[in-house]
Each structure stands twice: as C-alpha cells, then as structure tokens.
Amino acid sequence: MAFLKGVWRFLVAIKDGLVLLFLLVFFGLLYAVLSAGPNPGAVHKGALLLELDGYVSEQPAAMDPVAALLSQRAPVREFRQRDISRSLELAMTDDRIKAVVLDLDRFMGGGQASLAAMSERIEAVRKAGKPVYAFATGYTDDGYQLAAHASEIWLDPLGGVLPTGPGGSRPYYKGLFDQLGIKAHIYRVGTFKSAVEPYMRADQSPEAETAMQSLYGEVWNEWRRDVAKARPKARIDALLADAPAAVEAAKGDLARLALSNGLVDKLGDRVAFGKYVAAKVGEGRSEVIGSFAETRPEALLAAHRAPSDGSPIGVITISGEIIDGKGGPGVAAGDSVSELIYQSLQNDDLKALVIRVDSPGGSVTASEKIRLAIAEAKKRKLPVVVSMANLAASGGYWISTPADMILAEPETITGSIGIFGVLPSGKEALAKWGVTTDGVRTTPLSGEPDVLGGISPEFDRVAQAVVEKGYRDFLARVAESRNKTIDEVDAVGQGRVWAGATARQLGLVDKLGSLDEAVAEAARLAKLGEGEWHARYIDPQPDFASTLLGGLMPEPAQADLPTDLFGRAAWEQQLLFDHMASDLRMLLSVKGAQARCIECAAAAGVPLTAAKPAENWLGSLFSILR
C-alpha cells in the first residue's frame, strides 16, 4: 500500500511539474509577443538609425522558428522596403529627428528597384535640410548605392569599396548527371527560356548569353547612372578601368584607394564615427563608447499613424516564388494569395486595387489561380493597377495580365514569357547498382512517368504538347491584355527577360513609376481627387504559432553576417552552395508546368536565400543525391 502511495505521489509530482512548465512557457510566450511590438514613446531627439543587418525585401518572409532552431545557421533578418522608405519620409518632418544614420556594416543587399526607392527617400531627407551619415567596414554594390546618396560616407580603415557589377558563373549539372546515370527530361517553349539549361547542358547557350548580357548591362548602367548622379566626385569609371592595377598601386590599401578616388569622405572606425554623430545629434543613453542619441524606424512608424482620410485604395503585395497550396508572407502561394484577394474584395469601401508584384514566377496553375482572383476585381468594376517591383517575370508577368495599367521601375526585371517542365529519371543510375525494372502495360502510358525504368517517348510527346499548350495560353493572355497579336507577343516572348525601361518600349508595361505613383494612378482611374483617398496595405498575417514562437526567438546574431570584403566573399560562396542544393532540390520537387525565371533573381539583385535558414550545404547535397 505504501508503495502504491509513493507511486501515486510521484505521478502527481510529474503532473504538477508539467503543468507548471506549461504555464511558464505560455506566459513567457505571451510576454514575448506583447513586448515585441514597437513603442511609440521610444522616439527620442537625435538620429534615425537604420541598422540594416540583413536584406531589404518587398515582403519579408515568415520565419519558421522550429527550422531556425534546428538549423546550423542563424536566420538572416529581412526589412520591408516600404517601412524603411516611410520612416525616411517621417524623418523629414519630425522635429525630433536631427539626422539619419545608415549603418550598412552588415547590409547584405536587396533588389535594385527596392534600393532605388530607398535612395530617393534618402535624397529627399537631405533636401529637407537633414544630414545623412553612412558607415560600413566594406561596401558592396548594393550598400554603396544607398551610401552614395548620403551627406557623408565613412569607411573603416581596414575596409574598402570595390564595385564589381552584376554577373558571375552559374552551375551546370549535365556532366554530373551523365556520371550518375540521371537523365533530366526537359519540356519547354521559348528559345531564351534558360531556367532548365543547367539540367541539359554543360554551359550557357548562345541565346541565353545574349539575353543575359543585355539585361545585366542595362541593370548595371542604371546603377552607374544613379551613383554618378548622387555622387559626381566618385571616380568609379577610372577605378573599374583597371581595378587590379589600382589596388596594386595603393599597395592593397582599399580604404585609402576609396578615399583618394572620392568614393568615401572619411576614414574611421565605428567608435570614431559614433562620436562624430554624437557631436551632431547628442550623446546616447548607452554607456557604450561611441553611442549617440537614436530612434529606431519601428518606433517612428508607431508614433505616426498611416493616413486614413478618404476612400481606401487596396494594396496587396505578391512576393516570392509562386507555388501551389498555402503559404505565409514572402511566398506567393496560389491558394493563400487568391484567398487574400477575394477577402479584400468583400470590402465595399475599396475603390481600387493595386497589386505589387515581386516574383520570379513558379507554378502555372498557382499563377492562373492568382490571375483569376485579380480578374474578379475587374468584374466588380474596380480599377486594377499592377506595380512591378524588382521582379515580375514569367509567372510574375502572368498574374499581371488582368491589370488596367502596369507600371514598372527602370530596374524591374520582367518578361520571361515561357513555360517549362522537368522530370528526372534514373534508369542508368539504378543499373550501375544492379537494379533493373520490368512490368506489364495496358497502354503506352501505363505507369508513366516511369522515373525508375525510364520515361517513354510517348510520355515525352504528351508532356511537350501540354507545355506548348501552356505557352499558347500565356501568349493569349498577354495579347488580350496588351492589345497585341499572338505573333507580336511571341516576338518579345520566347522566355526572354527585359529590364523595365525596355519592357515599356516593347509595350509589355504602360509606364515607368514607383509604387506610390501606381497607387496615385489607381486613384485617378477610380476618379478620386487629391485628399480623397489613402492607401490601405492588405498583408497576409503569420499564423498564431509562428507569432508566439517567433516572439521568443532572439535577433539574428550579428556575428553571423560578415563585414569585410573577404568575409562577404565567403558568404557568397555559402549562398552558391545553397543555390546548387536548391537547383537539385527543384529537379526532384517541381510539380506541374512552370512559368518561372530562375536566373532573374540574380539579375535583379534579389537574394534567393534571404530568410531561409539553410542546413549544412554538404549534407544537403548528399541527401539529395542519395
């Protein structure tokens, strides 16, 4: 009896402990969520500090806390471009903000259109009479594009500035597949649809090289024009003419080289920079040497409510890869995005709809689902305007076709009107291990696609015909929306990508303009005058569990992000391996025909792995090949 009582007390103790643990976790999560919100009272006299430790994007992806905890790499933070731009606008008029500080030490970049929008706001702050100070150990092209618009650019004496321009190598897997006995069955339409070339070639096709060379050149020229206009004294062209000779002449001192060529104004470490800013805006409350009085953008945004006078113009951002099913922010999941659009249309007070597209495309079926949802707005007599951000290619252009008007940025990458499908088969790979296949068929298509025994020629013909039909559908949608013939669209289609300015000349977009200009156009189409409307941003919300767990996640460790040029080079290497793993994973996981432009993200400067914590790259490749 005594033994049973002891067991009972032991079980009760376990139960009480688990209840206590649950309560502690629950209240800890609740506290984390409640304390995570911005505090309007945190606006102090001093500088607006934009500490951009991570990437800038149109719609930050929802972080998976469980995956982040299990990952070997800390997640990299994403900043919403719209929030950064608005905080800069508020800094112009808020008397408490004396200056703006751009801390670009761990800035990992963003899309060219997003950076151009932020650069315009930085210029506006300067015109409002408030200085802008920039600091970094090493400036990348993206970081320097922002810094060039600052009043003063500081550089750590151990750092440097060395523009490189877009471009670089891309992995091709044909030789690997031949050795492994893997065959990639490619179904595509479009001479320039190069997304599948890594699976079918060992090098770049002449058509792809021509298209990408033209595109990269146009994007790079936009960067050079922007920097030259913002900072005329920067002798970048002279530096680019023979960078190795210039570095050797400077005896490897990249900081002095940048200073002598007018790329930066002053050399100094973070402490010296902080003291300099403190002398301008006031000392900081922190006891850390070199701190200055500061306000974070979250606090400034919380202190100034967004305008709400007049009728609302709905703004929905469609960002990321277009996939089937459901997904959170930063992923254009067909079911979730279309549902969000349909829900927004239930608001009778909505007078127009603006779709902000920042996507390289993806699933054809998901793209069509989103397109139909946007078309529903037109059926309800709502004006629809598409605003293209960094990317609106392939499926990203597909979903843009119902619009009454399409606006793009000069740096936007768009077009890529083409379709492809890809399926792997491993008959030869299995044969190397003594595995063969056999069976009975009732029709030529029985058991197809047979990824083990080899995909049959009959299935190849069926798949190619389906893809060709998808391309004809794509052409028809574009022709109808752009008032062109099928042949005219086909001439600028074939999978070729275009920069925004060229796309306007070709008639793929109507005007060049920013998101703000797109919203103004929507208001004009809705016959609303100045002061009679406001933008209502309709964003997807992360699920409750992610919000709770995310509240307990610490900020991404700064040590994970490099600051000097060599550290950034190592980081780019890691991203390359992640990209290779993603390429191979796509070969195995792609579902259905794809209207996707894989190479467009690199051309637009959009990081593919911005928010996804990656596993060890070697383990990732091994698991895929296994």
Mean pLDDT, the chain, integer:
84
Q: Please give the pLDDT value at position 51.
A: 94
Bond from prior residue into 206 cis (ω within 30 degrees of 0): no
Strand partners, 295: 48
Task: Report helix, strand or coil for 600.
Answer: helix
Pairing verdict, β 419-425 and 183-189: antiparallel
Q: What is the secondary structure of 104-136 as a DSSP string?
A: -TTEEEE-HHHHHHHHHHHHHHHHTT--EEEEE
Reported as a pLDDT band with limits 50, 70 and 90, residue 548 is: low
Query: pLDDT digit string (tens) for 73-126?
Result: 566 788 999 999 999 999 999 999 999 999 999 998 898 899 999 999 999 999
CA distances from 552 to 32, 68, 79 (A): 6, 12, 19
Mean pLDDT of 470-488: 93
Identify the structural domains of the chain with CATH numbers, from first to last: 41-165+228-303 (3.90.226.10)
Give residue-wise pLDDT tens across range 214-242.
Answer: 888 888 999 999 999 999 999 998 888 88
Q: Long-range contact list for 121-128, CB < 8 A, 24+ apart?
A: 121/84, 121/85, 121/88, 121/89, 122/88, 122/146, 122/149, 122/150, 123/149, 123/230, 124/88, 124/89, 124/92, 125/88, 125/91, 125/92, 125/100, 126/150, 126/151, 128/92, 128/93
Alpha carbon distance 486, 463 (integer Å): 22
Residue written as token pair 């893809």 = 467
Which three-class secondary structure state does DSSP give residue 541? coil
Q: Rounded to an integer, what distance in angstroms lies between the CA atom of residue 375 and that of residue 399?
A: 9
Residues 6+ apart with CB under 8 A from 403: 355, 374, 384, 385, 386, 481
Per-residue model confidence as pLDDT tens digits over 306-356: 888 899 999 999 999 999 998 888 889 999 999 999 999 998 889 999 999
Is 238 or 561 the better-scoring residue by pLDDT?
238
Q: Which amino acid is at 348?
A: D
Structure tokens at 570: 């190592």
Q: Is pLDDT at 367 greater than 90 in this prediction?
A: yes
- What is the spatial distance between Cα 36 and Cα 51, in angstroms, rounded to a whole number? 18
Query: Tens of pLDDT along 113-153?
Result: 999 999 999 999 999 999 999 999 999 999 999 999 999 99
List residues with catalytic annotation.
193, 394
Q: Which two tokens stand for residue 36?
A: 């995570």
